[in-house]
Amino acid sequence: MLTRVDPGPAVVVCNTCRHSRSAQVDGEGVRGGARLVAALNEIKAGEPRYAGIAVQEMACLFACQDHITVHLRAPGKVGYVLGRFTGDAASARAILEYAVHYAASEHGRVAFSLWPDGIKGHFITRTPPPGYIAE
């Protein structure tokens, strides 16, 4: 039931996420998570700056209360689950921009001054990497 992927820096998107607490799909019948995956891939394809960040998707991150969720992870770094996004290009760009700073950081901590406005207020939880706890 697990699929092996590149272990490098990645944004793992819940591709089955609802658009909001009240709407599972949009007017075209597409889920919010699927919209975000498409937006992330489109922006990533057009900008070499984001080449080092994988966009991976899986069904359900179990954060349904916080719709359109992503898990940001990289080896040896604290991971983050973020949610309550819209599936649009602005959200995708903010996530990718933060992911670049995250990938360049030593332990996964990004200075608040580098956070794009589009991710502020979207953090749900942080998770320590295997074998570590965060200070």
Residue 26 lies in a domain: yes
Residue 106 lies in a domain: yes
Share of the chain above pLDDT 70, in %: 100
Residue 113 lies in a domain: yes
Which domain, by its residues, includes 79?
A: 10-127
The token duo for 113 is: 């001054």
Residue 103 lies in a domain: yes
- 44: domain CATH number is 3.40.30.10
Query: pLDDT (tens digit, 9 = 90+) per residue, 70-126?
Result: 999 999 999 999 999 989 999 999 999 999 999 999 999 999 999 999 999 999 999
Q: How far apart are CA 35 and CA 12, in angstroms?
A: 14
- State the total domains in the chain: 1
The token duo for 102 is: 């995250």
